Structure 1
Amino acid sequence: MKIGWHIPAFLAMLALPAAAADYELRPDSKLQINSVLASVNGEPVSLEDILPATRQQEYQAYAAYSGDRLYEAIRSIRRKAVDDLINRKLVIADYRQQPFAIPNQQIEEELDNVAERMGYRSRSEFIRQARQSGSSIERLRRQVEENMIYQLMLYRRYQIEQNITPREVYEYYQQHRGDFVRPESLELGMILLPADSPELEATAEKVGGELKADSGRFAELARLYSAGPGAENGGTLGRIERRRLRPEFAAAMPDLSPGRVYGPVRTAEGIFFLKVIAHFPEEQSDFRKLAPEIRARLEENRREKSRERYFEELRKDAVLRYFFGK
């Protein structure tokens, strides 16, 4: 069986749990990076543990929500990440009760695969970067081993039957046609000049003028001026469905022209400039092309039900505590 690896999850696993600290979940507050969000059998799960896995989703939430809805969206994203990490810890603890051998060669090969997928040209470069980030090759090897353990334990639990008939595939397609229409979406860039910033109007006029003269400088100006999510990456929020845009943003962008900058858009948070980096029209479904995807979805549904039953069993005997703000 091929062991899959997801880089965001890998990065999340590299974070060290830390001591508890006061923490306000609202997105406009200063984040306490060592805040403890939960504990499982006395072992803490901190904000630092989950942020690498949630950051991109949180960025996209800023394009869809504001105020309390934004707060609730981020809270939901983080709660799911916490639950996922708790489930992972419980599965690995279950393995420790009755361990089975994993060949060291397989661990080493997967470690090399991880380094390659992360863009490192050699194991030594990978190790050097890990040390600069406060980690070590021993710790990375342990995390690779735990990832393999987690996936193997789940595989042993569900043992999915692959005998899904063509009729089942077609019936599922007929019942879920709407699920296979890819909605219109866009890749969005954002610059936020906060309402309480000094000389807000002058800064907005300056940024707006420079964008009008050269929209290609959007990423540069986002890094210089934006207080919004993803500023360090040029303001890019990733891909979002058009129907999920905040009403203020949707009204400001009646047409979606790649490369065009929209704004200023004034809200209670401040002044926004928005850029359509790419536009993806709605795509209609074609059963013949979708049949393999539907089969995979049916298999995943069965695996998901098996995972849920397994997690429920493990949680019955675990001591779990959550420290999310009200």
Structure 2
Amino acid sequence: MLKRILYTGSLILALVPMLTALATASAASKVLDRIVAVVNEDIILLSELDARMSPYVQRIRQQGFDLEKEQKMLYKVREDMLNRLVDEKLTDQEIKRNDINVDDAEIDNAIERIKAANYYTDEDLRGFLEADQMTMEEYREKIKEQILRSRLVNYEVKSKIVITDEEVSNYYDNHPELYGGTLHYHLRNILLPMPAGATDDEKTAIGQKMAVLRAQFEAGTAFADLARTYSEGPAADNGGDIGEFTIDTFSPQIRAALDGLQPGQATSVLDTDRGFQLFYVEAVKRSEDKPLESVREEIHQKLYAEVVDKTFLSWLEDLRGQSHIKIIN
């Protein structure tokens, strides 16, 4: 009997370190999954953050950066991913508060649209999910979250945005490089040619004469009258009217001088290979490669997307300000 008691006591003593080790290991495993953020009544766990960071961490570590740069990049990714998780918690809370729902049929339809857009069979999709270590149930849950968040954006942001016809027209007018054609200038010209073999003094005198004509124009004398009286160019009798030209037909010097000029304005005095010249802008027009009506919907969608992004970020910032958010490092 005594031997049995001694044996049992020895067995218990032998088990104590083993049980202590198991308890320590269990505690350590719990510590590994701790709270990293509190968002109102919800929490974000380290395991969630690690899962979100995982693909980025792998790519950064494959780049071969030095340790300091790698640590900085990993810290930035951690910060960005944690902020994204906070935003998702906030939007999920708003989804519940506004009682926004989605049923299984809508999830099925969304998945079918994704498959059709990417030419996936059901087997293809399941294969890609398996490669990403995701089950179909997990994928459906992701799709559900996307649909719900999209509906929240529609409810809180998109339904309150209006893009006017005036905004579309202004965008079109302010982006000729995207929608406009070639610039056409209708010009008048005063030319004072340089005689062959002219001395420096003669050249200076002709330049000064042209400067006087430029000053007279600024004082209010009609450019056409100055051209008829003083120009020695072929269009002098017609008030210097040399017709219409596209911007790309001019030399870089004249193109630069005309840049930004409006009808009724003149260039500065130009010393060109033909002599001293002045150019007067009679009219400017741009050929329409893309008429407004043909791109109206495109511009509307572009402006709408820009406003949605800005408005959503502003709404999210306001929501953050109204919420209890605590980051636990």
Give the TM-score normalised by structure 1: 0.42
Larger C-alpha radius of gyration, 1 or 2? Answer: 2
Give the TM-score normalised by structure 2: 0.42
Higher relative helix content: 2
